[in-house]
Structures are given as C-alpha cells and as structure tokens.
Amino acid sequence: MVADEIFPDQPVILGFDPGRQKCGLAVMGVDRRLYYHQVVAAESAIATLQTLRQQFPISLLVMGDQTSSKAWKQKLTALPDPLRVITVDERHSSLEARDRYWQMYPPKGLMSLIPQGMRTPPREIDDIVAILLIERYLERLVSDSL
C-alpha cells in the first residue's frame, strides 16, 4: 500500500521483516515519512523488493535479526547490485506492531469498545513490523550520535 503519492527526492530506507511464509516491507524517509508498506508472500519478496528499488531511491535495507534472517541476508547480498543490509533487534516488535496498527487504523463502531489488548488486527502486520525496524534503526543512529 502506497502511503503517500508524493515520491521522495531524498534517499529512503527499506524495512524488511523476513519470514518463512510472508515478509513485511516498508519504505520510509529519514524524516520518518512513510511512503509504502505491504505484506507479501515470502516467495515474491525479492521481486517486490526489486520493484521498490526501481520506484524509490533506496539507500539501505534494515531487517530484523530473528526468524530466518541469516538465510535472507545471504539471498539479499547475493543479488546483483545488492543493497547494504543492516540488522536490527526485532524482539517484541510483533507486540509493538499490534499497538501501532490500532494507532494507524483506529477501530470503529463496536470494535472501539473492546479494550486494545483484547483486539486482534484484522490482517497480517509484518509490514508494520518493518516500519518499526526502520524506526529502531533511526533511533539507534540518534542515540549513537549523542
């Protein structure tokens, strides 16, 4: 899903939440402006990633360090013209992504009466994990520079 029709003129970061069945992808600027996010089947992740590289000035790929990340990192670095890959600690990111989902898409109607901790997002949220991974990387950059 493209979050903004205005395409960036500055380099952006690709967030990648790798998985065996599905992967989350997000494109965000260093100003934290979100340009794209989507969950894709694992077998189409590389093709989607290549398409995103044609659409956006991606300077770097940030990915989670847990589920199958070593295998994915090998695949990504073996591509022609590979991106620089940075791994980020993704512990607790799925729980955090559930909360973020409800911030991005506030519940409506009767769903809004259910306490947030009891709600389950109505779709996969791996793309939101990818957003959080980029944010964690940017936070690390800021804290390292202080």
The tens digit of pLDDT for each residue in 28-80 reads 999 999 999 999 999 999 999 999 999 999 999 999 998 788 899 999 989 88
Q: How far is CA 118 from CA 15, 23, 99, 100, in A?
A: 28, 25, 11, 14
For 53, 60, 70, 140, the CA distances from 16, given in Å and listed in that order, are 13, 11, 13, 17
Identify the band that residue 102 occupies on the pLDDT scale cut at 50, 70 and 90: very high
Q: What pLDDT is attached to residue 1?
A: 56
- Exposure string over 120-140, b if 16+ CB within 10 A, otherwise e: ebeebbbbbbbbbbbbbbbee
Mean pLDDT in residue range 95-111: 93
Q: Determine the CATH number of domain 12-145.
A: 3.30.420.140
Locate the domains of the chain by residue range. Answer: 12-145
Spatial distance between the Cα atoms of 39 and 110, rounded to a whole number of angstroms: 27
CA dihedral 129, 135, 139, 141 (to 10 degrees): 110
Burial 69-83 (b: 16+ CB within 10 A, else e): beebbeebeeeeeeb
Longest CA–CA separation in the chain, Å: 50
Task: Say what the pLDDT of residue 10 is.
Answer: 83
The pLDDT of 130-143, averaged and rounded, is 92
Q: At 126, is the secondary structure helix, strand, or coil?
A: helix
Question: Which of 45 and 140 is assigned the larger pLDDT?
Answer: 45
